[in-house]
Amino acid sequence: MQLTGADILMECLKEQGVDIIFGYPGGQVLHIYDALYKYQNEICHILTSHEQGAAHAADGYARATGKVGVCLATSGPGATNLVTGIATAYMDSVPMVAITGNVPLALLGKDSFQEVDITGITMPITKHNYIVKDVKELAATIRRAFYIAQEGRPGPVLVDIPKDITAQVTEYIREEPKIINKVTEDITEEDISNALNLLERSHKPFIYVGGGAIHADANGELITFAETLKAPVCSSLMGLGSFPGTHEFFTGMIGMHGTKPSNLAATQCDLLIAIGARFSDRVVSKMEAFAPHAQILHIDIDPAEINKNIKTHYHIIGDVKEVLKRLNKKLNPKEYSEWMEEVQDWKKKYPLGYKENGALKPQKIVEKIYEMTKGEAIITTEVGQNQIWAAQYYKFQKSRTFISSGGLGTMGYGLGACIGAQLARPEKQIINIAGDGSFQMNCNELATAVKYNVPIIVVILNNGVLGMVRQWQKLFYDKRYSATILERATNFVKLAEAYGADGYHVTNEEEFHEAFTKALETNKPVVINCIIDEDDNVFPIVPPGAAIEEVITEE
């Protein structure tokens, strides 16, 4: 049938199972928005307050479901406002398709009003991007974009569509989405045999799991693998939830803000098994001192990650779930070893903890959220101390329950992601744990939450400072607090109420319990402003450039 480019876009979105997109209109996407009006009963459009909020919401939707998140913006500033959200998705391997409008073909390259080369700008932060210059290529391009976003290691793809392409008419023929097969062609029997030999010979194995295990939905296989091997398990920030946080074998996060047991185990193990992880600098710290006594087995879907940061001894390239399945079939059960007993002793000797002094403590707030949600909530975070406290003190049991900007560290990420995750998973309680600095970057998305009655809860850990940067200044810059003391008079309760949300101001544990109880019972957006001390710091912390066993604790 003959359709306009805008209608073809709608039909292609329907082909891909897209039921919701996040966006903001403008001149160069008017044809697309006209089509959205016609398709409004099939594709829900969420009008965010800012294009960056749209990108973060699409990201949160994708992380909460594993499906592709979709965002839409006009040309020029609309497109560039997506860039931070696209980069966030790229760094954390999140499947996203960003659709932008552009000026008509005849005006491209002439510095036309609201024209930017968005494909050039986003080339380093997308898996692939396109500009469509022929309406006959539009459907195929949209289909390729969704395929690329999901195949192999996921990531964002951008499709830029000049305005006249969306108005032109061509033949459209519906197609079923191309099946995305798991990456298994590079997994050889020799690889599996070599890995099994390593595992059999090891006396001190240690499993380090990253976000790739979540993308592969490999939770069950990972648990079986660890329990058969009788090996302790640590996680990167992005890997939280891939292995149950309450499991006996779990030692917590590894790296700069990792637990002392995790960092000691990495230093003393004789075999480090990295699963869906990329050895980021926040995990490894001083590279020459990382896992100095260990052979390293790296299992990952992306060959570009092998030997990129840390030299491995053996590696297997392929889908993590499939690799673990094949290993589990042939792995002989190990006995509970002296190594495991030593790691358990470290867990008893060096537990995560904090000093209580009668004041409202951020760690206690996170523990109360865990207790009052019975560990069943999905937690999004902003970036900074709030992010690490959430990661440390909420015990994530399942994949896709911790949603945070890891690789890029995007302040202002959490609120948009929280909205996207709540719309994706309406049956779940979604809570955004924020710092006051991060929250103010994109607090305008409260208007979005209220407009669509998205019942999120925002818990602000308000210390009146840019906490993580100030902590570094305190520890490593001789307490020279340059531009990190906010000294703002913002009333977050009144701000919430101005947007139409409920707001609570709390200064102690009892007030928090009462406010959070009300928030859980209220089917509307809620902001809880929690006053904490500016000197509450994140521990443990590894100084920059130090070996990861050189952990600074609160003591």
Fold of 189-349: Rossmann fold (3.40.50)
Structure tokens at 516: 């959070």
Give the type of residue at 550: E
Q: What is the pLDDT of residues 473-530, one digit of tens each?
A: 999 999 999 999 999 999 999 999 999 999 999 999 999 999 999 999 999 999 999 9
Which candidate in 11, 52, 91, 163 is catalytic? 163
**By mean pLDDT, which of 48-52, 126-130, 440-444, 550-554 is the weakest?**
550-554
Integer Cα distance of 551 and 309 in angstroms: 21
Which candidate in 15, 114, 286, 509 is catalytic? 114
Domain 2-171: give its CATH code.
Answer: 3.40.50.970
Parallel/antiparallel/unpaired status of strands 502-506 and 96-102: unpaired
Report the candidate in 132, 139, 137 with the shortest Cα–Cα distance to residue 118. 132
Q: What is the pLDDT of residues 380-398, one digit of tens each?
A: 999 999 999 999 999 999 9
Q: What is the pLDDT of residues 66-125, one digit of tens each?
A: 999 999 999 999 999 999 999 999 999 999 999 999 999 999 999 999 999 999 999 999
What HEC string does 219-267 produce? HHHHHHHHHHHCCCEEECHHHCCCCCCCCCCEEEECCCCCCHHHHHHHH
**Mean of pLDDT values over 440-452:** 98
Which candidate in 10, 22, 51, 429 is catalytic? 51
Can you give the pLDDT at residue 155? 98
Which residue, chain included where needed, has tokens 């002094």?
357
Residue 555 has pLDDT above 80, yes or no: no
Residue 304 has pLDDT above 90, yes or no: yes
In three-state secondary structure terms, 140 is: helix
Integer Cα distance of 431 and 62 in angstroms: 16
Residue 325 has pLDDT above 90, yes or no: yes
Please say if 10 is a catalytic residue.
no
The average confidence (pLDDT) of the chain is: 97
Integer Cα distance of 272 and 255 in angstroms: 14
Please say if 114 is a catalytic residue.
yes
362-531: what CATH class?
A: alpha beta
Please say if 163 is a catalytic residue.
yes
Please say if 441 is a catalytic residue.
no
Q: What is the pLDDT of residues 186-195, one digit of tens each?
A: 899 999 999 9
Each domain of the chain, given as residue ranges in start order, spans: 2-171, 189-349, 362-531
Can you give the pLDDT at residue 452? 98
Radius of gyration (Cα) for the chain, nearest Å? 24
Whether 2-171 shares its CATH topology with 362-531 is answered yes
Whether the Cβ atoms of residue 355 and residue 505 lie closer than 8 Å to each other: no
In three-state secondary structure terms, 389 is: helix
Q: What is the pLDDT of residues 223-240, one digit of tens each?
A: 999 999 999 999 999 999
Percentage of the chain modeled with pLDDT above 90: 97
Structure tokens at 186: 């590079």
Residue 406 has pLDDT above 80, yes or no: yes
Percentage of the chain modeled with pLDDT above 70: 100
Which candidate in 441, 468, 471, 516 is catalytic? 468
Burial of 117 (0-12, 13-18, 19+ CB in 10 A): middle
Can you give the pLDDT at residue 357? 87
Can you give the pLDDT at residue 358? 85
Whether the Cβ atoms of residue 270 and residue 244 lie closer than 8 Å to each other: no
Can you give the pLDDT at residue 554? 83
Q: What is the pLDDT of residues 125-158, one digit of tens each?
A: 999 999 999 999 999 999 999 999 999 999 999 9
Burial of 133 (0-12, 13-18, 19+ CB in 10 A): middle
Dihedral of CA 493/497/503/504: which sign? positive
Please say if 51 is a catalytic residue.
yes
Which candidate in 38, 40, 42, 113 is catalytic? 113
Whether the Cβ atoms of residue 203 and residue 339 lie closer than 8 Å to each other: yes
